[in-house]
Amino acid sequence: MISLKEALVKSEEELSEIRQELKKRAEANGLNAYVAFDEAGEGIPILLKDNIQVKDWGVTCASRILQGYVAPYDATVVEKMRNAGMAPFGRANMDEFAMGSTTESSCYGPTLNPHDKSRVPGGSSGGSAAAVAAGEAIAALGSDTGGSIRQPAAYCGVVGFKPTYGRVSRYGLGAYASSLDQIGPITRSVEDAAILYDAIKGHDPRDSTSAELTEDPIHGNIDPDRKLTIAVIDNYVEAASPAVRAAHEEAVKALESEGHRIVHKELSNPKYDIAAYYIVATAEAATNLARYDGIRYGRRCEEPKNLEDLYFRTRSEGFGEEVKRRILLGNFVLSSGYYDAYYLKAQKVRHLIRDEFNRVFDEADLILVPVAPDIAPKLGELADPLEMYKSDMYTIAVNLIGLPGISLPIRKDADSGMPVGLQLLAKAFDERTLFDGAASLERSVAYSH
């Protein structure tokens, strides 16, 4: 499949043929990466995660409770894409309401990993990553609340970029956890990620969390020859699998060969990140998902006996098990007598995590860490929720403190042949340095798709 950069110079006639080819590939591959092949206008086709609003499209967040809902407006990222000559093409499968790490909780069934159909593609943006990796999409948009762009990108061997919180408008994104959610690109190269990021970024007055900052275009100004100081977190690497440690060792050598300075640091045990994240995220989820009541929009239970029965049955029938679990957890930590013990404490830990990362950034331009503890697991292997939550151990701190991060494929595991990705992290709003380092790392490892 052509790159996004190559697509920029294609005629509309050529792009129409490409759209037809993408659909044929998706139907032939049988990965279940797409939930619909909707089209909205002329331009370069960009696959959208099924939680991004496109006017007159059905948008379900892969949940039964939103079946029948039709979006009345375009998300800001969709408006910006159109202005850049790109057009929404297809809805990508995902974990229900972006709550998951495997894309197995979707009401449409699981997406399969294109490198091994017995394995998951990661989540929650698994459909977006699998489609890009399999050549079913030129590029895609996902959302990242705790690693949901970077982790599936790592599992599928593509590039996944989570911008700084506030860089990209959340207006028109189905909310999971509002202080953590961020839209970003999934592509086959760092350069393509920069092109799509440039198209969607910028201040939006309709999003109260949107940063009122300007930024020059990244694409065309990336400097892979810039020499940087890059921190590696030794205690993070020690807890990873042999496959991930081997990729990390290769990446460090590659960065050193490019002339970058490597410094060794340690951070607190990521179990504290997990604990804080799953308190904050579930609390916000419980609040955001209260709007799905069967009255305002979406699916409604049949023949309710009264208003209480309507609410109870609509939500019981409409939400999947993982979503129900997180709503219950969120309501618990926000309840009287537990708010101070859990929610407020988690917010304090969030500030401690930020301070700790800032101390590393006092000495380093970037941080190199794993994306996940291991390669993509088999379907059903993370059925235990706690095991699934632990798989996010390296990604969630980035969302808790709003940093930008980019996942890159480094190598293929010698035993399984599966991709192994690592991520680079930068200071808030320092996307330029992040892309410089990412381009340098991409060039030095020469991962083969």
Give the active site residues: 49, 124, 148
**Residue 8 burial class via C-beta count within 10 angstroms: exposed 0-12, middle 13-18, buried 19 and up:** middle
Q: In whole angstroms, what is the distance from residue 234 CA to residue 409 CA?
A: 20
Amino acid at 285: A
Tokens of 266: 């340690």
Going by their DSSP bridges, the two strands 405-412 and 159-162 should be labelled as antiparallel
Q: In whole angstroms, what is the distance from residue 387 CA to residue 345 CA?
A: 23
Q: In whole angstroms, what is the distance from residue 374 CA to residue 418 CA?
A: 10
Amino acid at 42: E
* Distance spanning both ends of the chain, measured CA to CA: 11
